[in-house]
Homo-oligomer: A and B are copies of this chain.
Amino acid sequence: MLTIRDIAAKAGVSVSTASRALNNNPRISQATRERIQKLAAAEGYLPNYNAKNLTAGEANAVGVVFPTTAHTVPENPFYIDLLRGINAQLVQRHYVLSVAISATADELLKNVQSMVAQGKIKRFILFYAHEDDPIADYLRQQHLRFVTIGQPDQQHNDLFVDNDNLQAGIGGATFLLDQLHVKHPVFVESDHDWAYEHQRREGYARVAARFNVNPLTCKLGELNRVRAFIKRHPEIDGIMATDDFNGIEFYRLLRETVAVNHFPIVSFNRSLPAGLTDADLHSVDLFPEKMGNAATVLLFSDREPLATPTPGQIRIPYAIG
Residues in chain B near residue A276, CB distance under 8 A: 245, 248-249, 252, 276
Within 8 A of B (CB), among A105-146: 107, 110-111, 114-115, 117-120
Contact with B along A213-250 (1 / 0, CB 8 A): 00000000000000000000000000000000100110
A256 to B262, CA, bound (A): 12
Q: Is A278 an interface residue (CB 8 A)?
A: yes
Q: Is the CB of A83 within 8 A of B101?
A: yes
Asked if B80 and A76 sit within 8 Å, CB to CB, the answer is: yes
Q: List 27 A-B contacts (CB under 8 A).
A: A48-B54, A49-B118, A49-B119, A50-B53, A50-B54, A50-B120, A61-B96, A61-B98, A70-B84, A73-B77, A73-B271, A73-B273, A76-B76, A79-B80, A80-B101, A83-B99, A84-B101, A84-B102, A87-B100, A87-B101, A88-B102, A88-B103, A91-B107, A99-B99, A245-B272, A245-B276, A252-B278
A residues with a Cβ closer than 8 A to B are 46-51, 53-54, 59-61, 66, 70, 73-74, 76-77, 79-81, 83-84, 87-88, 91, 94, 96-103, 107, 110-111, 114-115, 117-120, 245, 248-249, 252, 256, 271-273, 275-278
